[in-house]
Structure formats: C-alpha cells, structure tokens
Structure 1
Amino acid sequence: MERALDQIQRLFDGITPEQEHLPTPCRAWDVRQLANHIVGEVHYFAVVTAGGERKETGEDFLGDDWPAAFRASAGELRQAWRDPGVADRMIKLPYAEVTAEWTAGQQIAELAVHAWDLATATGRPTDLDPEVGAAALAWSHDNIRPEFRGNEADGYHIGPEVTVPDDAPLYDRIAAFGGRQP
C-alpha cells in the first residue's frame, strides 16, 4: 500500500496547472476530475478501512494544492491500515462486506490503474513500480469478473478488456485489463 500511495504522490507532485484540463484514458474525466476522483477514493478507502461508512458527497477534494490534498488523504489511509485490528476486520463497502486483505488488494489495484491513467494523461513515463503493478494485476485477474465490465455510458467503471501482447509492459497490461487502450 505504501508504495502504491508513494507512486501516486510522485505523479501528483509533477502535475502542472497547464495539465488540468487535458483528457485522460478515463474518457469522462479530464486530469482535474481524475485527480479529484483519486483523492476522494483514497479518502473513502480510509473511511471504510477504519470501519466507517462510505457516503458520496460529490465534493471537491483537491482545493488549490493538489499534492497536499493527496498527501492528506494518503495519510488518512496509512493511519487506517496501521490500526492493530484492521487485518482481522471485515470491511463494509457499498456493494459487499469483504475481508481486509481483499480490500487492500482492491485499493492497490485502483491506485495502480489510476497511476497509469494519470501518467498517460500528463505525458509521464508509465513504467511504474513493478511490485505494485504485479500485485494489482494479480488481484484484478482474481477478482474482476465479466459481469463487472461494460460501457461508461451504462454506469460501469471497468470497460471491456483490451487485448495486448503477453509481453506488453506491465502497466499497459494493467490498463488493458481495466478496459483502457494502452
């Protein structure tokens, strides 16, 4: 988790004001909207990991200092995972109650694919942390089912898998499995 959060932090630290409205691989979002989603998701990850209930607010999580906003949400999540009892806890998500281990994998996978999204949108290298990527891809293959996939217009967050060669770069395989075109 630490490495996944650090990876996103480095990307946030490199975003320039001119990149705010660039398109992203998440077709419905520009860089600002994607960044806001990432900060918001990390905040919500912290809430549910700590035993709270996720409540969508639609708020702007970024403010004027995007790196600081991410750092604050990441700090909340780090603190939630440091709770001595968290590993044995069941985590209540809006759609299911799952183990802490499952939740950690889901959070790492989400952070990894959005690291690729953000790097791609801002012209940064996508050869990101291989340990994070391997964990994310393994979790995704084990847990993302065909019924979870569909078009954004129909309300799905994961598009149909895109075919890439088996030897494609790791994060391109993550992106393709997540329905993005590397």
Structure 2
Amino acid sequence: MSAATVDQLAVVADRVGLLISGIKPDQWDDPTPCPEWDVRALVRHLVLGNVMDTSGLLTRPPAHRELLAGFDETAVALLAAFRVPGVADRILEVPFGRVSGLMALHLRLTELLVHGWDIARATGQETAFPDDVIEQELGFTARALASMPSPRRPFAPAIASPATAPVLDQLVCSLGRVA
C-alpha cells in the first residue's frame, strides 16, 4: 500500500476548502448525495471530523473553540497534528474502531475526497483532486473494506462503476455513491 502523506492531505484539504468557499448563500440547505445531510450538515461533518482526528492524534479532548471553528481553521490544526513526530504510529479511536495514525491519515484523505465530491455534486462545482492521490485511496479503500466486517463499515455498500469511469467516480461508487 502506498502510504498517504501529510502533503497529499494538505492539497486535498485546500481543494475541499475551495469547494466550501464556492458554496453560494442559497445552496447551504440543498440536498447532497448523502441522503441524511444537506450541504451545511455535510460541511459541519467535515469540520467535526477534522477536530476529532486532531484531538485523537494529540491525545486530548477537543477544545470548545475548535468545535466552533470553520473548515480552513480545523484543516490547519489537523495538518499540524499529522506533522507531529511519531503520530503515524499512535493509535486513535475513530467511529468504527481503533486505528493507527497512518490509517487515520488514509481515512481522512478518503473522507475529504468523497465528501468533496459530494459538495461539488450538490453545488454544481468541479473537483480538482490529484488523480494519483485518488488512485492511491481507491486501492486503500478496497483493501480496508475487504478486511472490515459489514456492520462496521462507515459507508453504504459499493455500487458498480465502469472500469473506464474517472477514478474519482470509481472511488465514490466504491463507497456507495451513484456517480
């Protein structure tokens, strides 16, 4: 497995931040490909994910201020946490179990890619994620899901996509989205 890097996360987080800044005022209540979340709830989910991963990596509870922060601010804190020496080997709790810091990095990358696609789809924007990072996370996701019992999977069952589909469409389909 190619190891995810903090630099890759920085690029993807920056591009998700651009998607979020491109949300028009009248789009915040619009539905997303995640049936239970509108655009606002999906962005809040990403912010909370950044905060929770930062907290887990730094082995401390989240501060009240962090819970009120926006995406860009929480992404900066998350990147700083992932840059702490030795953090890749730490074990942290995620919604479906305990994982290493390196696994958390892959999970965060995948989450930002997929939910970035969700935001783009819901708001009529284009994504600009690096294909090599998407391909890496598509491989990671396939291996991770194959070893995970169905009840613990955080995403919907996979939907078949053509092998000729863009790699981001293949990734979102592998996690239950219709591309």
Q: CA 1:124–1:143 in 2, change beyond 3 Å: closer, same or farther?
A: same
Question: Mind listing any 5+ residue stretches in structure 1 that lack a counterpart?
Answer: 63-68, 151-155
Q: Is the 8 A contact 1:88 1:100 kept in 2?
A: yes
State the shift of 1:132 in Å.
2.7
Instruction: Give 1:50's match in structure 2, choosing from 55, 58, 62.
Output: 58
Q: Is the 8 A contact 1:149 1:158 kept in 2?
A: no
State the shift of 1:60 in Å.
7.3
1:99 aligns with 2:100: yes
State the shift of 1:43 in Å.
1.1
* Structure 2 residue identity aligned to 1:23: P
Question: Mind listing any 5+ residue stretches in structure 2 that lack a counterpart?
Answer: 1-8
Deviant stretches of 4+, over 6 Å:
none
Report 1 or 2 for greater relative contact order, CA contacts < 8 Å, sequence distance ≥ 6: 2
Q: Which residue of 2 aligns with 1:134?
A: 135
Separation (CA, whole Å) in 2 of partners of 1:93 and 1:30: 23
Q: Is the 8 A contact 2:15 2:128 kept in 1?
A: no
* Structure 2 residue identity aligned to 1:114: H
Q: Is the 8 A contact 1:109 1:136 kept in 2?
A: yes
Q: Which residue of 2 aligns with 1:124?
A: 125
Q: Is the 8 A contact 1:3 1:132 kept in 2?
A: no
Q: Aligned with 1:91: secondary structure? A: strand
Q: How many residues were matched structurally?
A: 169
State the shift of 1:170 in Å.
1.1
Separation (CA, whole Å) in 1 of partners of 2:166 and 2:95: 33
Q: Which residue of 1 aligns with 2:150?
A: 148
State the shift of 1:15 in Å.
0.9
Q: CA 1:148–1:3 in 2, change beyond 3 Å: closer, same or farther?
A: farther
Deviations 1:51-80 (A, max 9, x none): 2358xx9x9756xxxxxx111110110110
The 5 A counterparts of 1:56-95 are 61=68, 69-95=70-96
Q: Aligned with 1:144: secondary structure? A: helix
Instruction: Give 1:16's match in structure 2, choosing from 24, 45, 50.
Output: 24
Task: Provide the TM-score with structure 2 as the length reference.
Answer: 0.83
State the shift of 1:162 in Å.
0.7
**Percent of aligned pairs sharing the same letter:** 30
